[in-house]
Amino acid sequence: MQVELVSPERITFSGEADKVVVRTVGGGDIEFLPRHVPFIGVLQVSAATVFSGSDMQVFAIHQGFVQMSGDKVTILSDVSEAKEDIDVARAEAAKSNAESAISADAEDAEAAGALKRAEVRLGVASGALPGFGGGH
Amino acid sequence: MPGAKERELRRRIGSVQSTKKITRAMELIAATRVVKAMQRANEAKPYATQVTGVIENLAAGGARVSHPLLREAEDVKRVGIIAITSDRGLAGSYNAAVIKAAERQLDAARTAGADYSLILIGKKAIDYFSFRNYKIDAQYTGMSDTPTYENAREVAQKVVDMFEAGELDRVELAYTEFITMGTQKVTVRRYLPLETAEKMADAGGGSSTALAQFEFEPSPGGVLESLLPRYMESRLYSALLEAAASEHANRQRAMKAATDNAEDLIIKLSREMNQARQASITTEIMEIVSGAEALGGDDAQATIKTILENTEGTSA
């Protein structure tokens, strides 16, 4: 099946895949195989994994939508970064900034969001956790 | 020895020539930037199409929601006007046309008894409206040349916030639509309130596969709720990109015209200069000849001959 990752500024990824795993706001991972039922879901800040054969590509997704229709998975996201594109140093800096902001004000939603994004970025960059933040 | 008029003309030719060099360089720069801007606009299209596609599918899936962005005011008290212009001039009538369209909207709103609210992008619009003492509610510079999605988000957020807070009942967006390299058109589009999902879908041209019955997570309404702000951003982003491409195309045309004019001017001035030079040479010779003749004798004849031989080169 066809997979496309589309960000507002360009198409980040486009290709064939056997399986795609993303995480929706409901909190659960959802796995798309060919001929999945048509589906539209809202994604959380998380990682998306695209499997094709023995290959696996992980992308950091900063919210957005997934649409499965026909034989095509489209992931619309403000930011979708492949592992190679992630600036680890910047993500580390963002993470420590966010952490200090949270320690100053535990209710700081913006910092919490920034922390989550930085963690997902780092998780994807280190290649440690496809479907970062829990098993799938 | 050049005369005063000739010297003056030579100076002017020099200055026109350096102006021509500058306009020519600006033309070339604008030409490359137009290509880049068009490319960016094309790269942004899939996202806009897909977002519209999702809305179509939502409409087909029967999402009926009342979202604040869909609120249609019965009595429009305040009209928001977004105008996208450039920070820099020398782009022909590009800015003037958008400003005029925005001002027409403003006048129409006032005639209808509504208040107005200006959201201006680009230094040119800001200069124009602040000079005329209009009140400006939000202004942005530094984004019209190469707009990023971040820019679009910033502006869209502000407008959406104002709309949701009930400060605005209707928002119009004035910008320059990029049709082709040769054609750009100033357009005013309704930005808010949004049409219903069905209408958006009809107008959309997105990639609908409407026959399928979709499953939604969390719910059709929930999806639409987080989709609509994105849709607003995406619309503003494509307007910004088109405006940027139009700006560069307009500048290229304006600079090409300026270069051509400079060329014409140089030709005209060179002719005038040559005439002036010829005239001054003729006068000089006349003076010498008459001076020599006044002295009389064979010596005079010989002197005239020598002078004519010597000046042959220059008076030719």
- The reply to whether residue A67 touches residue B50, judged by beta carbons under 8 angstroms, is yes
CATH number for region B30-258: 3.40.1380.10
Q: Please give the model's pTM, rounded to 2 decimal places.
A: 0.82
- The reply to whether residue A76 touches residue B47, judged by beta carbons under 8 angstroms, is yes
Residues in B touching A39 (Cβ below 8 Å) = 214-217
Which pLDDT does position B70 carry in this prediction? Answer: 80
Distance CA(A56)–CA(A130), nearest Å, equals 9
Indicate the domain borders of chain A.
Answer: 2-83, 85-126
Best mean pLDDT range from A75-89, A92-106, B268-282:
B268-282
Write down the architecture of domain A2-83 according to CATH: Sandwich (2.60)
| A92: pLDDT strictly greater than 90 | no
Q: For residues B223 and A64, is the Cβ–Cβ distance under 8 A? A: no
Query: Which tokens in the block code for residue B209?
Result: 């596969």
Q: For residues A16 and A72, is the Cβ–Cβ distance under 8 A? A: no
Which pLDDT does position A103 carry in this prediction? Answer: 81
Count the alpha carbons within 13 Å of A3 in the hemisphere toward its beta carbon: 25
Taking one residue from A and the other from B, the number of pairs with CB-CB distance under 8 angstroms is 88
C-alpha of B182 from chain center:
13
Distance CA(B316)–CA(A83), nearest Å, equals 76
Q: For residues A8 and A78, is the Cβ–Cβ distance under 8 A? A: yes
Q: What is the DSSP string of chain B?
A: ---HHHHHHHHHHHHHHHHHHHHHHHHHHHHHHHHHHHHHHHHHHHHHHHHHHHHHHHHHTT-----GGG---SS--EEEEEEE--SS--STTHHHHHHHHHHHHHHHHHHTT-EEEEEEESHHHHHHHHHTT--EEEEE-S-SSS--HHHHHHHHHHHHHHHHTTS-SEEEEEEEEE-SSS-EEEEEEEEESPPPHHHHHHHH-----TTSPPEEES-HHHHHHHHHHHHHHHHHHHHHHHHHHHHHHHHHHHHHHHHHHHHHHHHHHHHHHHHHHHHHHHHHHHHHHHHHHHH-HHHHHHHHHHHHHHHHHHH-
Distance CA(B279)–CA(B3), nearest Å, equals 10
B108 burial (CB, 10 Å; 0-12 / 13-18 / 19+) is middle
Instruction: List, in order, residues 6 or more apart from A34 with CB less than 8 Å away.
Output: A1, A18, A71
Q: For residues B44 and B241, is the Cβ–Cβ distance under 8 A? A: yes
User: Is A2 near chain B, with CB under 8 Å?
Assistant: no
Which pLDDT does position B52 carry in this prediction? Answer: 84
User: Is B40 near chain A, with CB under 8 Å?
Assistant: yes
Interface test with B, best of A14, A30, A67, A110 (most B CBs within 10 A): A67
Which pLDDT does position A124 carry in this prediction? Answer: 78
Find residues 109-128 of chain B whose CB sits inside 8 Å of chain A: none
Cis check for the bond before B218: say yes or no (omega within 30 of 0): yes
Averages of pLDDT over each 10 residues, chain B, 316 residues: 81 95 95 94 90 80 70 86 94 94 94 92 95 93 91 93 91 93 91 71 52 75 84 92 95 95 96 91 89 74 75 56
Interface test with B, best of A5, A6, A74, A80 (most B CBs within 10 A): A6
Q: For residues B36 and B44, is the Cβ–Cβ distance under 8 A? A: no
Query: Which of A4, A9, A42 lies nearest to residue B217, judging by beta carbons?
Result: A42
Which pLDDT does position B204 carry in this prediction? Answer: 52
User: Is B314 near chain A, with CB under 8 Å?
Assistant: no
User: Is B297 near chain A, with CB under 8 Å?
Assistant: no
Which pLDDT does position B212 carry in this prediction? Answer: 54
Q: For residues B237 and A78, is the Cβ–Cβ distance under 8 A? A: no
Q: What share of chain A is helix, strand, coil (3-state, %, to 5)?
A: 30, 40, 30
User: Is A42 near chain B, with CB under 8 Å?
Assistant: yes
> Looking at this predicted complex, what is its ipTM?
0.79
Q: Look at residue A115 and give its three-state secondary structure.
A: helix
Tell me which of B23 and A26 has the higher pLDDT.
Answer: B23
Find residues 59-88 of chain B whose CB sits inside 8 Å of chain A: 61
Query: Which tokens in the block code for residue B137?
Result: 């509610």
User: Is B222 near chain A, with CB under 8 Å?
Assistant: yes
Distance CA(A30)–CA(A76), nearest Å, equals 16
Q: Which residues pair with A55 in a beta bridge?
A: A52
Cis check for the bond before B220: say yes or no (omega within 30 of 0): no
- The reply to whether residue A40 touches residue B216, judged by beta carbons under 8 angstroms, is yes
Q: For residues A76 and A6, is the Cβ–Cβ distance under 8 A? A: yes
Q: Calculate mean pLDDT across residues A74-88.
A: 83
Q: Which residues pair with A48 in a beta bridge?
A: A59
Which pLDDT does position A47 carry in this prediction? Answer: 85
Looking at the complex, report in whole angstroms how far the Cα of residue B20 sits from the nearest Cα belonging to chain A.
36
Which pLDDT does position A136 carry in this prediction? Answer: 39
The CA-based diameter of chain A, rounded to the nearest angstrom, is: 48
Distance CA(B79)–CA(B71), nearest Å, equals 14
Distance CA(B23)–CA(B174), nearest Å, equals 28
Q: Which helix (H) or strand (E) holds A95?
A: helix A88-104
Q: Calculate mean pLDDT across residues A43-53.
A: 87
Which pLDDT does position B117 carry in this prediction? Answer: 93
User: Is A113 near chain B, with CB under 8 Å?
Assistant: no
Residue A63 DSSP code: S
Distance CA(B153)–CA(A7), nearest Å, equals 13
Q: Which residues pair with A47 in a beta bridge?
A: A60
Q: Which residue is listed with tokens 């897909």?
A: B50
Query: Which of B50, B153, B217 lies nearest to residue A41, judging by beta carbons?
Result: B217
- The reply to whether residue B234 touches residue A8, judged by beta carbons under 8 angstroms, is yes
| A135: pLDDT strictly greater than 70 | no
Best mean pLDDT range from A7-11, A101-105, B63-67:
A7-11
What is the rounded (10 degree) CA torsion for B184, B98, B231, B36? Answer: 50
End-to-end, the C-alpha distance of chain B in Å comes to: 15
Q: Which residue is listed with tokens 């050049």?
A: B2
